[in-house]
Structure 1
């Protein structure tokens, strides 16, 4: 693939993989916690939390990117504090691309994990509790192994979504080659350049291969979960 793609195209692919991997890994612990709260929690504001989690799915991605810029930009109410105290900058950096990708992919991750949690028979957890296991140990030894396929499926879907994120990313971090130009941004850039159709087509093919591989793997895991629940 290194010979088939130009150095610029290869940098866009590798940056996308880096951004997607960081976005997925960093958001996974929070995704599990939020999914558990939505699946099992009974607290005021639960529906509000559910709405906020899924809001990026229905908002125009450009709106999400604009809100990120207002919040995490150098002059944003969170961004300026992070820059001043920790030297952490998101706007127009690859870290900002990872943040945007994580937010856009988060609803898919949470939904997959939440469905896996809701499929767990509470009687299994209650049986472990009667044997003296605390809530954390019950989750660690009973719930977590049962929902692991759902976690894997959610992780894969989130990674695939992060790979394809464009609108929020380009609004928040722009399209800087070698720094913030991810795979979708590179495709867009090549489409705007006369004679760039060949480069765009190659990157489109790469995107399709990665997306299809992720979807097939997710489908395989989902079927494994269904068989496990059915006891076959």
Structure 2
């Protein structure tokens, strides 16, 4: 009698596992993102960091960056949400053209954006000459120029995030609200905005983070005047080039900017819309359905 050879029971591979061949590139990608920051922490002279990040110049640059970043984000919200809605609801050909125009700043070097803004709003620019002649308004090399430069490079991040959320949400609830007699404005406030709130928050954070780190367009269009246009990136550049301070100050200011960015991301990640509306997409749909019922009432 021949005894059949027993084989170990094979266990099925769990669904969603990553192939081993992709593990090395993934690890290299993480290293590419993390190791430069590790090198920054290693290079820092921790004995001089407290004095550098609390110096008047650092506090002035950080305060200016936060103020202009918030102002640029507000501009992007006012302009970007309607623009995203137009793209999401337009015909495919029109949406493709407008989307391409919106994403141009993403592929342009920021320096090019600064030159373009200068030739648009400078004293002899396309629009700037008329602002100067008619109202005596000169925008370049002012704090307003910093806000405009930051908004120019940050607006696409908000528009893309909100447009994606709008397309994912669809128009089903908006159609129901329209059949119940709701106006477009009321439908937008009570139905559309609650549906896209997570995407709107994510886009706003990306927009603010991009504005906070903007350098190239700001340097060319706004300049590098302390207290007026010298934001944190420009202060880091100035310190690194040894304008009266050591490179240790540049490293300390870089660490301060990294910490600020991380704190912002952690605070936003701690806020989850589904905690207020229930769990998962069901909570969002339930809240929106309630909004539709409120519109009907």
- TM-score normalised to structure 1 length: 0.90
Q: CA deviation at 1:215?
A: 3.0
Measured in 1, the distance between the counterparts of 2:266 and 2:281 equals 20
Q: CA deviation at 1:212?
A: 1.6
Q: CA deviation at 1:121?
A: 3.9
Measured in 2, the distance between the counterparts of 1:84 and 1:27 equals 28
Could you tell me whether the CA contact under 8 Å between 1:157 and 1:214 is conserved in 2?
A: no
Map 1:1-232 onto structure 2 (within 5 A): 4-42=53-91, 45-193=94-242, 195-220=245-270, 224=274, 228-229=280-281, 231=283
Could you tell me whether the CA contact under 8 Å between 1:150 and 1:222 is conserved in 2?
A: no
1:176-220 Cα deviation digits (max 9, x unpaired): 112111100000000000752222122111110121223334545
List alignment gaps of at least 5 residues for structure 2: 1-49, 285-297
Aligned residues between the structures:
232
Measured in 2, the distance between the counterparts of 1:200 and 1:137 equals 50
List alignment gaps of at least 5 residues for structure 1: none
Q: CA RMSD in A?
A: 2.5
Distance 1:21 1:54, change over 3 A: same
Could you tell me whether the CA contact under 8 Å between 2:87 and 2:163 is conserved in 1?
A: yes
SS of the counterpart of 1:175? Answer: coil
After superposing the two structures, state which structure 1 stretch, 31-40 or 205-214, moved more.
205-214
Measured in 2, the distance between the counterparts of 1:35 and 1:197 equals 42
Distance 1:96 1:223, change over 3 A: same
Higher relative contact order (CA 8 A, sep 6+): 1
Measured in 1, the distance between the counterparts of 2:272 and 2:168 equals 12
Measured in 1, the distance between the counterparts of 2:68 and 2:75 equals 11
Measured in 1, the distance between the counterparts of 2:257 and 2:156 equals 21
Measured in 2, the distance between the counterparts of 1:83 and 1:217 equals 42
Runs of 4+ residues deviating >6 angstroms: none
Q: CA deviation at 1:43?
A: 6.9
Could you tell me whether the CA contact under 8 Å between 1:157 and 1:218 is conserved in 2?
A: no
Distance 1:2 1:88, change over 3 A: farther
Distance 1:173 1:107, change over 3 A: same
Measured in 1, the distance between the counterparts of 2:236 and 2:182 equals 53
Could you tell me whether the CA contact under 8 Å between 2:53 and 2:59 is conserved in 1?
A: no
Could you tell me whether the CA contact under 8 Å between 1:74 and 1:89 is conserved in 2?
A: yes
Could you tell me whether the CA contact under 8 Å between 2:88 and 2:95 is conserved in 1?
A: no
Distance 1:169 1:54, change over 3 A: same
